[in-house]
Amino acid sequence: MMPAAESEPRDASTAIYVHDIPAERPWSYVLRKGQTLRIIDSEGQQAVDALLYCLADPTERYSAQDTLRTQGSPYVDVGTRLISNKDRVMARITADTCGRHDTSAGCCSCESNAVRFGEATKYQHACRENFILELSKHGLGKRDIVANLNFFMSVPIEPNGNFTVVDGVSVPGAYVDVSMEMDVIFVISNCPQVNNPCNAFDPTPIRVMIWDEARL
Protein backbone atom coordinates (compact mmCIF):
# COMPACT_ATOMS: atom_id res chain seq x y z
CA MET A 1 0.00 0.00 0.00
CA MET A 2 1.43 3.32 -1.06
CA PRO A 3 1.55 6.14 1.50
CA ALA A 4 -0.81 9.07 0.88
CA ALA A 5 2.16 11.41 0.62
CA GLU A 6 5.95 11.16 0.56
CA SER A 7 6.43 14.31 2.62
CA GLU A 8 4.70 16.46 5.23
CA PRO A 9 1.52 18.23 4.02
CA ARG A 10 2.28 21.58 2.39
CA ASP A 11 1.05 24.78 3.98
CA ALA A 12 -1.26 26.65 1.57
CA SER A 13 -0.11 30.01 2.94
CA THR A 14 3.48 29.41 1.73
CA ALA A 15 2.54 28.82 -1.94
CA ILE A 16 4.23 31.28 -4.34
CA TYR A 17 1.45 31.05 -6.94
CA VAL A 18 -2.29 30.31 -6.86
CA HIS A 19 -4.52 30.37 -9.92
CA ASP A 20 -7.99 29.13 -10.79
CA ILE A 21 -8.24 27.68 -14.29
CA PRO A 22 -11.80 28.19 -15.59
CA ALA A 23 -13.80 25.26 -16.91
CA GLU A 24 -12.73 24.14 -20.41
CA ARG A 25 -9.63 26.39 -20.52
CA PRO A 26 -5.90 25.69 -20.94
CA TRP A 27 -2.98 26.88 -18.78
CA SER A 28 0.80 26.58 -18.83
CA TYR A 29 3.73 27.62 -16.65
CA VAL A 30 7.50 27.26 -16.56
CA LEU A 31 8.26 25.23 -13.44
CA ARG A 32 11.80 24.99 -12.09
CA LYS A 33 13.54 21.94 -10.68
CA GLY A 34 12.56 21.62 -7.01
CA GLN A 35 9.22 23.38 -7.39
CA THR A 36 5.99 21.51 -6.72
CA LEU A 37 2.75 21.99 -8.63
CA ARG A 38 -0.48 21.08 -6.85
CA ILE A 39 -3.51 20.48 -9.09
CA ILE A 40 -6.77 20.70 -7.15
CA ASP A 41 -10.00 19.22 -8.49
CA SER A 42 -12.00 22.03 -6.92
CA GLU A 43 -15.50 20.67 -7.53
CA GLY A 44 -14.66 16.97 -8.11
CA GLN A 45 -14.83 14.55 -11.04
CA GLN A 46 -12.90 16.83 -13.40
CA ALA A 47 -10.29 15.35 -15.75
CA VAL A 48 -7.10 17.40 -16.15
CA ASP A 49 -5.04 16.61 -19.25
CA ALA A 50 -1.33 17.44 -18.94
CA LEU A 51 1.92 17.46 -20.90
CA LEU A 52 5.49 18.25 -19.81
CA TYR A 53 8.35 19.55 -21.98
CA CYS A 54 12.00 20.01 -21.00
CA LEU A 55 12.56 23.80 -20.93
CA ALA A 56 16.13 23.56 -22.24
CA ASP A 57 15.17 21.31 -25.15
CA PRO A 58 11.42 20.80 -25.73
CA THR A 59 12.10 17.89 -28.10
CA GLU A 60 12.55 16.07 -24.80
CA ARG A 61 9.02 15.63 -23.44
CA TYR A 62 6.78 13.45 -21.32
CA SER A 63 6.53 9.86 -22.48
CA ALA A 64 3.54 7.86 -21.25
CA GLN A 65 5.03 4.65 -22.62
CA ASP A 66 8.39 5.08 -20.87
CA THR A 67 6.62 6.09 -17.63
CA LEU A 68 4.50 2.93 -17.59
CA ARG A 69 7.36 0.68 -18.66
CA THR A 70 9.62 2.09 -15.96
CA GLN A 71 7.14 1.54 -13.12
CA GLY A 72 5.66 -1.67 -14.49
CA SER A 73 2.04 -0.72 -13.80
CA PRO A 74 -0.65 1.18 -15.71
CA TYR A 75 -1.78 3.86 -13.21
CA VAL A 76 -0.23 7.09 -11.99
CA ASP A 77 -0.22 7.70 -8.23
CA VAL A 78 2.14 8.58 -5.36
CA GLY A 79 5.68 7.54 -6.22
CA THR A 80 5.19 7.54 -9.99
CA ARG A 81 8.16 9.07 -11.78
CA LEU A 82 7.16 10.92 -14.95
CA ILE A 83 9.72 9.82 -17.54
CA SER A 84 10.80 11.64 -20.70
CA ASN A 85 11.35 10.25 -24.18
CA LYS A 86 15.07 10.40 -23.33
CA ASP A 87 14.48 8.18 -20.30
CA ARG A 88 15.12 10.89 -17.72
CA VAL A 89 12.93 11.65 -14.71
CA MET A 90 11.04 14.90 -15.37
CA ALA A 91 8.94 14.94 -12.18
CA ARG A 92 7.56 12.77 -9.40
CA ILE A 93 4.09 12.42 -7.87
CA THR A 94 4.71 13.33 -4.23
CA ALA A 95 1.18 13.53 -2.83
CA ASP A 96 -2.22 12.40 -3.99
CA THR A 97 -5.60 12.35 -2.27
CA CYS A 98 -7.42 10.91 -5.30
CA GLY A 99 -5.54 7.62 -5.63
CA ARG A 100 -5.61 6.96 -9.34
CA HIS A 101 -4.75 8.86 -12.51
CA ASP A 102 -4.60 7.71 -16.12
CA THR A 103 -1.93 7.97 -18.79
CA SER A 104 -3.31 5.42 -21.27
CA ALA A 105 -6.46 6.95 -22.73
CA GLY A 106 -5.05 10.10 -24.38
CA CYS A 107 -6.83 13.41 -24.83
CA CYS A 108 -10.07 14.33 -26.57
CA SER A 109 -10.09 16.01 -29.98
CA CYS A 110 -12.74 17.26 -32.42
CA GLU A 111 -11.84 14.34 -34.68
CA SER A 112 -12.10 11.64 -32.02
CA ASN A 113 -15.34 13.17 -30.70
CA ALA A 114 -16.83 12.90 -34.21
CA VAL A 115 -15.78 9.24 -34.49
CA ARG A 116 -16.85 8.25 -30.98
CA PHE A 117 -19.92 10.40 -30.39
CA GLY A 118 -21.19 11.41 -33.82
CA GLU A 119 -20.66 14.16 -36.37
CA ALA A 120 -22.79 16.61 -34.36
CA THR A 121 -20.04 16.78 -31.69
CA LYS A 122 -17.27 17.68 -34.16
CA TYR A 123 -17.36 21.40 -33.38
CA GLN A 124 -17.28 21.10 -29.61
CA HIS A 125 -14.15 22.43 -27.94
CA ALA A 126 -11.62 19.71 -27.06
CA CYS A 127 -8.34 19.14 -25.20
CA ARG A 128 -6.32 18.93 -28.39
CA GLU A 129 -7.40 22.46 -29.31
CA ASN A 130 -6.56 23.65 -25.79
CA PHE A 131 -3.08 22.11 -26.10
CA ILE A 132 -2.51 23.76 -29.50
CA LEU A 133 -3.53 27.17 -28.09
CA GLU A 134 -1.29 26.88 -25.05
CA LEU A 135 1.71 25.32 -26.83
CA SER A 136 1.71 28.23 -29.29
CA LYS A 137 2.81 30.49 -26.39
CA HIS A 138 6.02 28.45 -26.16
CA GLY A 139 6.88 28.13 -29.85
CA LEU A 140 5.40 24.64 -30.02
CA GLY A 141 2.53 23.30 -32.11
CA LYS A 142 0.30 20.47 -33.17
CA ARG A 143 3.08 18.02 -33.95
CA ASP A 144 4.48 18.46 -30.42
CA ILE A 145 1.37 16.94 -28.81
CA VAL A 146 2.16 13.45 -27.52
CA ALA A 147 0.31 10.89 -25.41
CA ASN A 148 -0.60 12.77 -22.23
CA LEU A 149 -1.41 12.41 -18.55
CA ASN A 150 -5.03 12.50 -17.37
CA PHE A 151 -5.10 13.57 -13.75
CA PHE A 152 -8.33 12.64 -11.90
CA MET A 153 -9.52 10.52 -14.85
CA SER A 154 -10.56 6.99 -14.03
CA VAL A 155 -9.73 4.37 -16.68
CA PRO A 156 -9.79 0.99 -14.95
CA ILE A 157 -8.10 -1.83 -16.84
CA GLU A 158 -10.17 -5.01 -16.62
CA PRO A 159 -8.67 -8.50 -16.11
CA ASN A 160 -9.31 -9.24 -19.80
CA GLY A 161 -7.26 -6.19 -20.81
CA ASN A 162 -10.15 -3.93 -21.83
CA PHE A 163 -10.28 -0.39 -20.52
CA THR A 164 -12.74 2.46 -20.78
CA VAL A 165 -13.33 5.90 -19.27
CA VAL A 166 -15.71 5.65 -16.30
CA ASP A 167 -17.06 8.06 -13.65
CA GLY A 168 -14.29 10.01 -11.95
CA VAL A 169 -13.56 9.08 -8.32
CA SER A 170 -12.09 12.41 -7.21
CA VAL A 171 -14.09 14.27 -4.58
CA PRO A 172 -14.28 18.10 -4.39
CA GLY A 173 -10.91 19.41 -3.21
CA ALA A 174 -8.94 16.29 -4.17
CA TYR A 175 -5.38 17.14 -5.17
CA VAL A 176 -2.22 15.73 -6.65
CA ASP A 177 1.30 17.16 -6.11
CA VAL A 178 3.85 16.97 -8.93
CA SER A 179 7.45 17.80 -7.91
CA MET A 180 9.82 18.81 -10.70
CA GLU A 181 13.12 17.03 -11.26
CA MET A 182 14.12 19.37 -14.12
CA ASP A 183 12.99 22.75 -15.49
CA VAL A 184 9.82 22.09 -17.50
CA ILE A 185 7.04 23.74 -19.45
CA PHE A 186 3.95 22.28 -17.78
CA VAL A 187 0.84 22.43 -19.96
CA ILE A 188 -2.72 21.71 -18.81
CA SER A 189 -6.04 21.37 -20.59
CA ASN A 190 -8.96 21.57 -18.16
CA CYS A 191 -10.90 19.00 -20.18
CA PRO A 192 -14.08 20.32 -21.90
CA GLN A 193 -15.43 16.85 -22.74
CA VAL A 194 -19.21 16.53 -22.26
CA ASN A 195 -19.83 13.23 -24.08
CA ASN A 196 -18.34 10.74 -21.62
CA PRO A 197 -18.25 10.60 -17.79
CA CYS A 198 -14.66 11.89 -17.32
CA ASN A 199 -16.03 15.29 -16.19
CA ALA A 200 -19.37 14.03 -14.89
CA PHE A 201 -20.79 15.61 -18.10
CA ASP A 202 -20.24 19.05 -16.53
CA PRO A 203 -16.74 20.62 -16.89
CA THR A 204 -15.76 22.66 -13.82
CA PRO A 205 -12.89 24.97 -12.70
CA ILE A 206 -9.69 23.63 -11.15
CA ARG A 207 -7.01 25.35 -9.02
CA VAL A 208 -3.24 25.19 -9.37
CA MET A 209 -0.76 26.14 -6.62
CA ILE A 210 3.03 26.20 -6.71
CA TRP A 211 5.57 25.83 -3.91
CA ASP A 212 9.25 26.63 -4.22
CA GLU A 213 10.89 24.40 -1.60
CA ALA A 214 14.03 26.55 -1.61
CA ARG A 215 11.97 29.53 -0.41
CA LEU A 216 10.19 27.75 2.46
- List residues near Zn ion by CB under 5 A: 108, 127, 191, 193
Decide: 206 and 21 in contact? Cβ < 8 Å: yes
Q: How far is CA 154 from the centre of its chain?
A: 12
Nearest to 188 by CA among 67, 107, 68, 73: 107
Specify the amino acid at residue 110.
C
Q: Which is nearer to Zn ion, 145 or 191 (CB)?
A: 191
DSSP collapsed to 3 states, 117-148: HCHHHCCCCCHHHHHHHHHHHHCCCHHHCCCC
Q: Which is nearer to Zn ion, 170 or 193 (CB)?
A: 193
Q: Which is nearer to Zn ion, 87 or 167 (CB)?
A: 167
Q: How far is the CB of 163 from Zn ion (least distance, A)?
A: 16
Decide: 140 and 206 in contact? Cβ < 8 Å: no
Q: How far is the CB of 149 from Zn ion (least distance, A)?
A: 12
Q: How far is the CB of 191 from Zn ion (least distance, A)?
A: 3
For 187, other C-beta atoms within 10 Å of its C-beta total: 27
Q: Could you tell me if residue 79 is left (phi over 0), alpha (psi between -120 and 50 degrees) or otherwise beta?
A: left
Q: Which is nearer to Zn ion, 95 or 191 (CB)?
A: 191
Q: Which is nearer to Zn ion, 121 or 193 (CB)?
A: 193
For 209, other C-beta atoms within 10 Å of its C-beta total: 19
- Cα separation of 184 and 89, whole Å? 11
Q: How far is the CB of 13 from Zn ion (least distance, A)?
A: 32
Q: How far is the CB of 116 from Zn ion (least distance, A)?
A: 12
Q: How far is the CB of 129 from Zn ion (least distance, A)?
A: 10
Q: Which is nearer to Zn ion, 108 or 182 (CB)?
A: 108
